[in-house]
Amino acid sequence: MNCFEIKDVNYTVKEQHILNNINIEIPEGSFTVVSGPSGSGKSTLLKMIGSLISPTSGDIIYHEKNQTSYSPQEYRQEVSYCFQTPVLFGETVRDNLKFPYEIRGLDFDEGRAQHLLDTVGLSGFIDKGINDISGGEKQRVALIRNVIFMPKVLLLDEITSALDTESKQEVWKFINKLYSEEKLTIISVTHQVDEIENATHKIIIENGSVVNYES
């Protein structure tokens, strides 16, 4: 089954064509890597799949239904978008990991939060201030916030591009573990060669058009 079908999608801003007639299928359970030059439209495509922006024309089909037919809450809970620069809020790591429980009206499962922090090399970080941790640590906290309630799809926009080698490895170890254990579908925008090796599908975008699609 296809997780997504992107059909004749265009995105135009002030008569500038940012994406041109995109037609791709993303199979359920695939690990798709999207690469291509800077400014080619990779983030725009990923944001559209994550429903952060809407296509000017064309359709995005998710699990055989048009993206527009889902409620925003339902869609966000299934399709989780991770920003290149993590955005943390509140004062502590705990504030960020409690948030997904708060919006669902559930009690915070601190044990689960601690367990996930342990998994990414952040044991004992739960009460740290968000201004007292490094960029690599913030990215891992943001990632845990995205998956503490496991989504079905994880959209990653160059999430390790600004990180040091050690943080990068921690993040990829965690993502590979999620991919192998949770039956996720992952779409990842990247330039990193080691990540491309893990891909089951590859899409190359240039100038707003898909120039190569390999499965």
Contact partner, 160, from ligand ADP, Mg ion, none, Cβ < 5-8 Å per class? none
CB of 35 to Mg ion, least distance (A): 11
117-136 burial, b at 16+ Cβ within 10 Å, e below that, comes to: bebbbbeebbebebeebeeb
Q: State the alpha helices, DSSP H only, in 79-164.
A: 93-103, 110-119, 135-147
Residue ranges binding ligand ADP (CB under 6 A) = 13, 18, 38-44
Taking the C-alpha atoms of residue 86 and residue 145, their distance in angstroms, rounded to an integer, is: 11
- Identify which of residues 46 and 93 has a Cβ nearer to Mg ion in the complex: 46
CB of 123 to ligand ADP, least distance (A): 34
Taking the C-alpha atoms of residue 152 and residue 117, their distance in angstroms, rounded to an integer, is: 21
Angle ∠(36,40,42) on CA atoms, nearest 5: 75
CB of 95 to ligand ADP, least distance (A): 29
Contact partner, 38, from Mg ion, ligand ADP, none, Cβ < 5-8 Å per class? ligand ADP
Contact partner, 32, from ligand ADP, Mg ion, none, Cβ < 5-8 Å per class? none
- Identify which of residues 39 and 90 has a Cβ nearer to ligand ADP in the complex: 39
**How do beta strands 185-189 and 31-35 pair?**
parallel
Query: What residue number has its CB nearest to Mg ion?
Result: 43
21: its two tokens:
């007639």
Which residue type does 11 have? Y
CB of 45 to ligand ADP, least distance (A): 7
- Identify which of residues 150 and 204 has a Cβ nearer to ligand ADP in the complex: 204
What's the alpha-carbon Rg for the chain, to the nearest Å? 17
Residue ranges binding Mg ion (CB under 5 A) = 43
- Identify which of residues 7 and 47 has a Cβ nearer to Mg ion in the complex: 47
